Structure 1
Amino acid sequence: MHSGTEREARRPIRHCVGRLRELLSSVAEKAGELDLVNRSLIFAALGFLSLVPLMMVIAAADPGRAAGLGRWLARAMSASEPAEREILELFARPRRILREVTAFGLTALCIFGLTFAAHVRQAYAAVWATRRPRVDGVRAALRELIRHVLWLVLLIGFLLLLGATPLSRTDLLPGPLEVVAVLIVTLAFVWASQIVLLGGRPGGWALLAGAIATTLGLAGLRLFAWLVFSPLIVSQATAYGSIGAVVIILSWLVGVGFVLYGGAFAGRITYERTASLQRRRKPVGDHDDGVRVHRRRG
């Protein structure tokens, strides 16, 4: 009797453990198919190639604003004062910038920027398993180009806005109003990025969970950068010069790409689980109503 009671008590626990294992196995299988690590490496390479021409163009128009973006990059990585000086030296530009250099910066920004946007769009499409609509080739290409350009405008506006945010350089945790403002701006950018690049599929509310997960992941990455990347920038720059700081920045961009795509993947899993639970509950309710009606008739 006692052993039978224990078996009955353990049955729900075994059921929950089995469901958890099934869920983790499904998540691991889907994550392996997405190849998030390689996508993050490509994100870092294209992101850095787009960031440098962007700095050149902004420096040509407003050198002070370019320094602000370099400062924002240091703050985003939670860099200390010595590490921030190393980062600012990488993006320092003389006040005299030739017109040819500006034209080169614009050309490079267009080429690498559009390639970067196309890569992010393909990664999001792979995460959500969306397919391109079957329309005329010219119209489809034009729509894709408009989405990529619009996303680049959002990205530049996002960087300029955060570059003007008065976040503390040395404090890991700035004021609460500043934290809330940065989180809201980041959430809005990530959410709008998915909507623009995916063309509204699978829907704005479905993409919101991924945007929230990405925003929280970026906040956690800032803490990790403060613990790991900030000391490495100084040590690597001292040992290997500017190339050492570049390697650390690329490593941080790999982390940003992984959080960006991993957050979208977490949003998809959350959305699918929520939709599955809703589908399971609906037939139960309909069945209960049918039983009630049958009883009343009886």
Structure 2
Amino acid sequence: MEGPGGRSFFRRLRSAVHGSIAGRGWERSKQMELGQRSLGFAALGFLTLVPLLVIVSTADTGQGRGFAQWLGEGTGVSTASRMRIEMLFGSPGQALRSTTVLGIAGLAVFGLSFGALVQSGFEKVWDLPAARWWARWRQVLWLAVLTSYLFVAATTARRQSLFDAALLSLSAVLFFWWSQHLLLAGRVRWSALAPGAVATVLGIIGLRVFSALVFSPLIASSAVTYGPIGTLLVLQSWLVGVGVVVFGGCLVGRLAHEELHSLTRGGGRRR
């Protein structure tokens, strides 16, 4: 039977775990429903961001490339898996020829929902109230810059040099740093947002390695077993991972900022 000393030890241990940065991160991830938000990110991303990038990627077809090649390089999967992705999305110019005005209008509506989802996730991380309805322009601007950034990053990534890799990493940090500032309407200091931008980029690099080790063979095996729908399911899972990285990176950044602030000021945590 466990004595008072044993109960006291486990109580202190439980308190220490809950009070640690890992324990606080776990509790906050549950409070902000990280898993549900990541699923929403993947669903809306496939409805809006993927079709939008398919259309935009037609500007890169002069190099014989399209969105499927962008996605294959972005996920870091093998050549065989990239071929499966290319079979799923078809020829680069087909999307532009079949796009209608109604389709573009639908993308715009869902695109705002995607931007609102990312914005609400950042606000939840920082315990901020929802922005006013007239701040929708921030979501429009962010989506436009995101699309442009992904286009530039995709066309730069093919050069495969060490300098280009370092430049892409630095530009990604700057983009996610600016994204948080824009979508949070400047309500959090730039210095507090910097750790989150760095954590997000490190998470993307880690996800790319994970994709090469796990998603790449999964695409090949799922395509054989289930056909194109198998490839689609794996890509959807990858998008869920991207959502975890985007929101989780922001959360890790806040926790890191709080720890740094506590060490340097020796006091309580504040935004």
Q: TM-score range by the shorter chain?
A: 0.7 to 0.9
Equivalent residue number for residue 157 of structure 1? 148
The answer on whether the counterparts of 1:217 and 1:259 sit within 8 Å (CA) in structure 2 is yes
Counterpart CA distance in 2 for 1:105 and 1:111 is: 10
Note the C-alpha offset of 1:132: 4.1
The answer on whether the counterparts of 1:58 and 1:66 sit within 8 Å (CA) in structure 2 is no
Give the 3 Å change call, closer, same or farther, for CA 263–181 of structure 1 in structure 2: same
Note the C-alpha offset of 1:28: 2.2
Q: TM-score, normalised by structure 2?
A: 0.84
Give the 3 Å change call, closer, same or farther, for CA 66–114 of structure 1 in structure 2: farther
Matched AA of 2:126 = W
Give the 3 Å change call, closer, same or farther, for CA 106–56 of structure 1 in structure 2: farther
The answer on whether the counterparts of 1:86 and 1:234 sit within 8 Å (CA) in structure 2 is yes
The answer on whether the counterparts of 2:25 and 2:251 sit within 8 Å (CA) in structure 1 is no
Note the C-alpha offset of 1:162: 1.4
For 1:141, which of 133, 136, 147 is the aligned residue?
A: 133
Where does the alignment leave 5 or more consecutive residues of structure 2 unmatched? 1-11
The total of aligned residue pairs comes to 256
Note the C-alpha offset of 1:61: 6.1
| Corresponding residue SS for 2:245 | helix
Query: Residues 180-225 of structure 1: CA distance to partner in whole angstroms, max 9, x if unpaired?
Result: 0221121111111111111112111111100000100110110000
Note the C-alpha offset of 1:237: 1.2
Equivalent residue number for residue 116 of structure 2? 118
Equivalent residue number for residue 81 of structure 2? 83
Counterpart CA distance in 1 for 2:117 and 2:219 is: 28
Give the 3 Å change call, closer, same or farther, for CA 56–210 of structure 1 in structure 2: closer
Note the C-alpha offset of 1:94: 6.7
For 1:275, which of 237, 261, 265 is the aligned residue?
A: 261
Query: Residues 92-147 of structure 1: CA distance to partner in whole angstroms, max 9, x if unpaired?
Result: 247466877231331122012111000000000001111246xxxxxx3222x110
The answer on whether the counterparts of 1:63 and 1:93 sit within 8 Å (CA) in structure 2 is no
| Corresponding residue SS for 2:173 | helix
Structure possessing the higher radius of gyration over alpha carbons: 1
Q: TM-score, normalised by structure 1?
A: 0.77
* 1:209-220 → structure 2 map (5 Å cutoff): 209-220=195-206
Give the 3 Å change call, closer, same or farther, for CA 51–265 of structure 1 in structure 2: same
Counterpart CA distance in 2 for 1:37 and 1:94 is: 33
Equivalent residue number for residue 22 of structure 1? 19
Matched AA of 2:55 = V
238-247 vs 55-64, greater mean Cα deviation: 55-64
Where does the alignment leave 5 or more consecutive residues of structure 1 unmatched? 1-14, 134-139, 169-173, 283-298
Equivalent residue number for residue 191 of structure 1? 177
Counterpart CA distance in 1 for 2:252 and 2:23 is: 14
Percent identity, please. 38
